[in-house]
Amino acid sequence: MTTLCIEFKQKIMKPEFENIPLKDTGTRFEIEFNGNFAFIDYRVMGSQIALNHTEADLLIAGTGAAAAVVEKTLHYIEDHQKKALPFCPYVFAFIKKNPEWKRIVDPRFKEYDQL
């Protein structure tokens, strides 16, 4: 008997953000939407990526752009076999609301048990 394993990556983001590429500048992950940016400032620390601050330009605030950049960033971290350190309150809340993402948070993260 053969078992087929299919990886399922749940999409939370709004459809209008799905095809927007995630850009890595070396200090931030960002997406551009209608000429405006949503981004996460980060720092690589060995096998961990510290997510420090999330922001969306005022003109796209409330559109789901911040959630989209978070989700794309979490996929990036998982695809690169890193662990997340969600210091940013927005990222922390996103993971808490979507607990399937806890799988990529480093268990040594101080507030891991609160996710």
Print pLDDT tens along the chain (115 aa): 333 333 434 557 788 898 999 999 999 999 999 999 999 999 999 999 999 999 999 999 999 999 999 999 999 999 999 999 999 999 999 999 999 999 999 999 999 999 9
Alpha-helix residue ranges (DSSP H) falling in 1-115 = 65-79, 89-97
pTM summary value: 0.87
Give yes or no for a contact between 34 and 60, defined as CB atoms under 8 angstroms apart. Answer: yes
Instruction: Check if CATH label 3.40.630.30 holds for domain 23-114.
Output: yes
Label residue 31 left, alpha or beta by phi (over 0 means left) and psi (-120 to 50 means alpha).
Answer: beta
Domain ranges of the chain: 23-114
